Amino acid sequence: MFGSWQSERAKVYRRLNDIPASWGTAVNVQAMVFGNMGDTSATGVAFTRDPSKGDRAYYGEFLINAQGEDVVAGIRTPQYLTRAAREEAGAKPLSMEEAMPEVYGELARVFDTLETHYRDMQDIEFTVEKAKLWMLQTRSGKRTAKAALKIAVDMANEGLITEEEAVARVDPAALDQLLHPTLDPQAKRDVIAKGLPASPGAASGKAVFDADTAEKRNAAGEAVILIRTETSPEDIHGMHAARGILTARGGMTSHAAVVARGMGRPCVSGAGSIAISAKDKVMRVGGREIREGDVLTIDGATGEVMAGEVATVQPELAGDFATLMVWADKVRRLKVRANAETPLDCKTAREFGAEGVGLCRTEHMFFDAGRITAVRQMILASDEKGRRAALDRLLPEQRSDFAEIFTVMAGLPVTIRLLDPPLHEFLPHEEAEFAEVAQAAGIDVDTLKRRANELHEFNPMLGHRGCRLGVTYPEIYEMQARAIFEAALDVAAESGAAPIPEVMIPLVATKRELDLMKAVVDRAAQAVFAERGTEVEYLVGTMIELPRAALMAGEIAETGEFFSFGTNDLTQTTLGVSRDDAARFLGAYVEQGIYPKDPFVSLDVEGVGELVRLAAERGRATRPDIKLGICGEHGGDPASIGFCEQVGLDYVSASPYRVPIARLAAAQAALKAR
């Protein structure tokens, strides 16, 4: 804090001639004032509140018989402004309050005048020349996220600003710092590598190099950090078990980053200087080695990787934070949902104020150790009969997945995306796994390998996935739809609060795809309703995640009852950029001004945004009450939320830990729109 004040002040002195003359205390620009004219002269800098913690107490330092330059030069140690601060610090040199009580009294009155006038915490420069106070400059002061929150809420409570102004004053992105454990700023850090700040929060733990070990050690009560070259859906259980995730490859929206943010796990991704050998259970970086069991710390807010344990500070979610959220909710128009796929995610999301689930992916449910064999048997079956036999074994599991989620989200809408990834993601990739998997699935290794090879894709992102699976294997979506409706009826009967399932068909590019898939879902619904003799309300809609879907939105809305903009994939296809591979050039792209920000973090409003706007217009032209939301990563990004407000979407959906950020950003967007 101190060093930065000094450099700030250096700038201030150099800019003296720029100061306007309209302040409460006049400034004489012609005649220089001098703080070095003896012991009744002084110079100093102050904040009207604590810029670090936000407390309502004057905060600053001064030097007797000195000019600003002396303070900047750092030759003499400045003294505290107030007696309280001096005493708290246990310092001897008298505070200004004690050394110059009269001038200090005048200064304090000026502080109050300026803060009241500017209605914000002021950062003030002053000089005392022979016991006469001269104000050199005042301006709104910089502050930490924590102070910003406290000052905004305090000032609204004091009546200095309105609640809405308080809402407008806190940077939603900065709020992220407050929702996660952070590194103790006092602690020493032994930084060994730097990657991307992929998911905020800090975590320490023992290094592990595979998901199974992460799970095992976590079960034994050890804190672990999972280290992978890159993660895949098969690592999910290990990511759940770990305190944090570190990868050598992948960008801000790589699998590791997206999943970690969804889970609220700190994550550093794409730490390119690290060489990882999972086989030898070691990572090497800058001549150093971290082996399994060695402790390390990651800071997902900065991307730093540190050897050893670094102390962390826990977040506070009550108090001012809760107050500001209430005020934000009064203002916003956009609903805020969460991307959540486990009961735990859903609980977290509700605690953070989510008003529904905007994206419940179902693929992770297929990776569960107890089910993956049935999933593989389904994939490896040679005909529909074989696939149906395997799907029958998965049905009760899927039903219980949805029942748990519906129970947590009772009474709220839950958008469930039917199976999306290409089937090869569920088959083994490593030679070592084939024998075991073949045995478990009851087929020979050659058949397994042949099938895996057949399913291999050059560009899986553009492959046989999404509704294309549903078109070629409708029985998969049929099973999922049945599980959804059976679970919804079970929960409605049990809790009395029926969930509102919104069944979402992924990767639609044509109306006909949605027609075919809606028919499958509707048939399953009618069958279940007939068997049970009762019904639940439900919607069938689609993700708009391909440029063609956006262009054809008018036609697609004839069938689709809602659109959820899948802006991750829409960004990939509109820009022609694979987010798993983009790390290699996206940095250079942002540096050279080709994109102002990483387009996977903040929506490319010009390009992708035009498609969203166009799809919203065309969809509404066909179906005026169509429900419109966004479920890409952008749903948690304040700038992108501002765009969603402009386009008039109904809701944004963000990962659970970003729900408060989205609530605040939505409120600010609504204020801006007025």
Instruction: Summarize as ranges the residues that interact with a copy of itself (CB under 8 A).
Output: 457-464, 468, 471-472, 507, 509-510, 512-513, 516, 545-548, 551-552, 569, 572-578, 580-581, 584-585, 588-589, 592-595, 604, 606-608, 610-611
The phi, psi pair for 55, rounded to 5°, reads -60, 150
Distance CA 560, CA 415 (A): 13
Shortest CB 286 distance to a copy of itself, Å:
17
Of 100 and 274, CB closest to a copy of itself? 274
CA distances to 100, 116, 120, 123 from 108, rounded to whole Å, are 12, 12, 15, 13
The active-site residue out of 255, 364, 424, 634 is 255
Read off the DSSP letter of residue 604: -
Tell me the closest approach of the beta carbon of residue 553 to a copy of itself, in angstroms: 11
Nearer to a copy of itself, 529 or 595 (CB): 595
Residue closer to a copy of itself by CB (options 82, 571) is 571
Length of the chain: 674
Question: Is the CB of 177 or the CB of 232 nearer to a copy of itself?
Answer: 232
Query: Cβ(246)–Cβ(267) under 8 Å?
Result: yes
Q: In what order do the strands lie in the sheet with 196-199?
A: 191-194, 304-307, 295-299, 202-208, 224-228, 244-247, 267-269, 196-199
Q: Compute the CA torsion angle 401, 403, 404, 409 (nearest 10 deg).
A: 120
For the bound state, the minimum distance from the C-beta of residue 575 to a copy of itself, rounded and expressed in Å, comes to 5
Contact 298, 266 (CB under 8 A): yes
Helices (H) and strands (E) in the chain, counts: 28, 26
Q: Is 631 a catalytic residue?
A: yes
Query: Helix, strand or coil for residue 618?
Result: helix
Relative to beta strand 651-654, strand 627-630 is parallel
| Residue of 346, 360, 467, 631 with catalytic role | 631
- Look at the block and give the residue holding tokens 């007696």: 83
Query: Closer CB to a copy of itself, residue 432 or residue 588?
Result: 588
The CB-of-440 to a copy of itself minimum distance in angstroms stands at 25
Contact present, 297 and 224 (Cβ < 8 Å): no
Look at phi and psi of residue 517 and say left if phi exceeds 0, alpha if psi is from -120 to 50, else beta. alpha
Q: What distance lies between CA 395 and its chain's CA centroid?
A: 33
Nearer to a copy of itself, 167 or 586 (CB): 586
* Contact yes or no for 523/503 (Cβ under 8 A): no
CB of 71 to a copy of itself, least distance (A): 44
Minimum distance from residue 12 beta carbon to a copy of itself (Å): 37
Handedness of CA 387, 388, 393, 396 (dihedral sign): positive
Measure the CA–CA gap between 48 and 669, rounded to whole angstroms: 29
267 catalytic? Reply is no
95 DSSP assignment:
P
Match 């279940």 to its residue by tokens: 528
Question: Least distance in Å: CB of 507 to a copy of itself?
Answer: 6
Q: How far is the CB of 435 from a copy of itself (least distance, A)?
A: 21
Residue closer to a copy of itself by CB (options 129, 545) is 545
What are the catalytic residues?
Answer: 255, 631
